Amino acid sequence: MTMVKGIEQIVSKVFQECYGEIPSSTSIQIQETKKEFEGDFTIVVFPLVRIAKSKPEQVAETLGNLLVEKVPEIEKFNVVKGFLNISLTSSFWLNWLANLESIETRLPKTESRGELMVEYSSPNTNKPLHLGHIRNNLLGYSVSEILKSAGYKVYKTQIVNDRGIHICKSMIAWEKFGNRETPESSGLKGDKLVGKYYVAFDKEYKKQVRESIDSWLGDKDAMPEPQIMKEAQAMLKKWESGDEKVISLWEKMNGWVYKGFDETYARLGVDFDKLYYESNTYLFGKDIVNENIENGIFYRKEDGSVWCDLTEDGLDNKLVIRADRTTVYMTQDIGTALLRLKDYPKISRLIYTVGNEQDYHFKVLFKILEKLGYSWASDCYHLSYGMVDLPTGKMKSREGTVVDADDLMEEMSQKAEEITTDLGKLEELEDADKVELYNSIGMAALKYFMLKVDPKKKMLFNPEESIDFNGNTGPFIQYTHARIQAILRRAKERTLVPFVKTELHEKEKTVLRLIKKLPEVIEESAVNYSPAVLCNYLYDVVKAYNSFYQSMPIFDDEHPAQESFRVELTKQSGATIAFCLNLLGINAPERM
């Protein structure tokens, strides 16, 4: 039982004894005491005034005296208007630290809360991953790890968008301009090579549009599609009909992309338990749509296209199969959702990590699934997040102005090398260890900067700001962890005695309060699908520990019991920092 739960029970019992009525659970409000006031916990008295029939200050004073009398762990209290601030004894905190088990044992039992599936990444196979994909992957991966620590069994997945007109654009451009170029002959990663031809298609398409405008004498609205677009559309129809030549080219170019993606995922530090491919799921979705036309969930227009009327639900009419019998993303997503529940029947919620430009898409998807009669549709969740911009502006894939994920990760590693070299922090390490640490620091800067922002908010990524060794950054947190490990290595060379009851400094109590709060923070992060909550907590822990470390000595020959306490406090601080970093996908280095 947590201390808060214990206080809630005491307050409930006290009110029953004193006033003959048990307060409702919502009336007993206990929160952490604000930093500007003395105390560990604060009881909000205002909701209890009705029962006590006294002024808030009087109720708080009476309740404070009774709590000090009945709860040995409560040392004193103070009243600020209708707020009762209570302070726990030093012995409470010392006993808690002395009996503290591993972090894992303080969290819910793994898989005890059911099964979830989190989708993230889900790229198109016509271009490499970019800055936006980085936020998507880091968010989806971290949310998955946080949910695991909160007691869920989590399946990490993605839907690979490996078919469609955008894929055919790269294929047509490669056929026309590629001269049989391969990753091996070009020296390019496969995903970058295919992305090169996606950009080439767009350039040729715009060129043909300009030429058509210059030569067309009729109504501009009746101007035909450029030839290269017609060729891409024809290729898509051939793909859906199973044309062997088109399928062979599609498999070859997608193979290049998958190999490139795997390299990027490995460096980014994310993984997946199950992959789904649109080339498989769209057929299943198409069958579901066709099977539900007769019952009125979908309807067919005169041109042969199939739609779903959602106007009564405040949405619009949604196209699911085009007049030429090709499908849209919605069809694929219907099929994918059903296949996932078929493969993992115990899943209680599907969580889609997709940017907020797709908010409407997921409202439509969930409503269609609900109309199809699937009760679990109401538990589907769109983890919507804001786009990432750079100081230089917005990215555009078709124009080749995106920030490539591989290039950005390499740039972060190089920046880490420059900064650490200037600071002289790694002079004692071997060259191979330095290279590994440069990458670790660079990735920490990138990941933490991405994850500390509330997912719902649009963000501006500034590489220079992210890699600072001071302030709310990944490298600063890593450096604190490395400092702690250095202290613990020194402590192993000393003889430590058991720590006994002693008065605690407020800075020591602050660190203890934060360490104790970890399970609650994980739960809050899980409920809100927000690594930002965990990042804010982690930064608070680091700030509190550094304030303690800078204010009082860890090692003290004249006070061995105090030294033992502070070493243990340091050890548990380090374990908490490392655990949180791990949930964010960030390494916790031993030396920096």
Query: Is 496 within a domain?
Result: yes
Mean pLDDT, range 279-292, rounded to an integer:
93
pLDDT digits (tens, 9 = 90+) for 432-447: 888 899 999 999 999 9
Higher per-residue pLDDT: 536 or 111: 536
pLDDT value at 336 more than 60: yes
Q: At what angle do helices 244-268 and 165-177 cross, to 10 degrees?
A: 100
Check: CB of residue 161 under 8 Å from CB of residue 124: yes
| Of 21-30, 362-371, 572-581, minimum mean pLDDT range | 21-30
pLDDT digits (tens, 9 = 90+) for 498-513: 877 678 999 999 999 9
For residues 432 and 567, membership in a common domain is answered with: yes
pLDDT band (50, 70, 90) for residue 149: very high
Helices (H) and strands (E) in the chain, counts: 21, 14
Query: Is 398 within a domain?
Result: no
For residues 243 and 328, membership in a common domain is answered with: yes
The residue out of 358, 389, 420 marking a domain boundary is 389
For residues 365 and 427, membership in a common domain is answered with: no
How many alpha carbons fall within 13 Å on the CB side of residue 329?
14
CA distance 262 to 353: 19
- Cβ neighbours around 28 below 10 Å, total: 20
Query: Is 588 within a domain?
Result: no
pLDDT at 429: 75
For residues 361 and 447, membership in a common domain is answered with: no
pLDDT band (50, 70, 90) for residue 217: low
pLDDT digits (tens, 9 = 90+) for 157-188: 999 999 989 999 999 999 999 999 999 999 99
* Count of structural domains within the chain: 3
pLDDT digits (tens, 9 = 90+) for 89-127: 998 999 999 988 889 888 887 778 999 999 999 999 999
For residues 553 and 482, membership in a common domain is answered with: yes
pLDDT value at 585 more than 70: yes
For residues 514 and 578, membership in a common domain is answered with: yes
Please report, for the domain that includes residue 10, its CATH number: 3.30.1360.70
For residues 368 and 423, membership in a common domain is answered with: no
Query: Is 93 within a domain?
Result: no
For residues 384 and 409, membership in a common domain is answered with: no
Query: Is 107 within a domain?
Result: no
Give the structural domain span for 339.
Answer: 120-389
pLDDT digits (tens, 9 = 90+) for 413-430: 999 998 888 777 667 778
The residue out of 88, 110, 142 marking a domain boundary is 88
The residue out of 363, 389, 415 marking a domain boundary is 389
pLDDT at 9: 87
For residues 513 and 475, membership in a common domain is answered with: yes
pLDDT at 428: 73
Kindly list the distances between the CA atom of residue 406 and the CA atoms of 190, 260, 261, 263, 382, in Å, as whole numbers in the listed order: 12, 10, 10, 9, 27
Mean pLDDT, range 364-378, rounded to an integer:
96
Please report, for the domain that includes residue 579, its CATH number: 1.10.730.10
pLDDT digits (tens, 9 = 90+) for 261-276: 999 999 999 999 999 9
Tokens of 280: 């498989």
Query: Is 232 within a domain?
Result: yes
For residues 362 and 491, membership in a common domain is answered with: no
pLDDT at 395: 39
pLDDT at 45: 93
Q: Does the predicted TM-score (pTM) go above 0.85?
A: yes
pLDDT at 442: 96
pLDDT at 394: 46
pLDDT value at 1 more than 80: no
Query: Is 34 within a domain?
Result: yes
Query: Is 520 within a domain?
Result: yes
pLDDT value at 14 more than 90: no
pLDDT digits (tens, 9 = 90+) for 59-82: 999 999 988 988 888 999 999 988
CA distance 395 to 377: 33
Higher per-residue pLDDT: 562 or 6: 562
CA distance 566 to 544: 13
Kindly list the distances between the CA atom of residue 578 and the CA atoms of 63, 66, 590, in Å, as whole numbers in the listed order: 40, 40, 10
pLDDT value at 399 more than 50: no
Please report, for the domain that includes residue 248, its CATH number: 3.40.50.620
Higher per-residue pLDDT: 536 or 329: 536
SS3 for 117?
A: strand
For residues 433 and 557, membership in a common domain is answered with: yes
180: left (phi over 0), alpha (psi -120 to 50) or beta: left
For residues 374 and 411, membership in a common domain is answered with: no
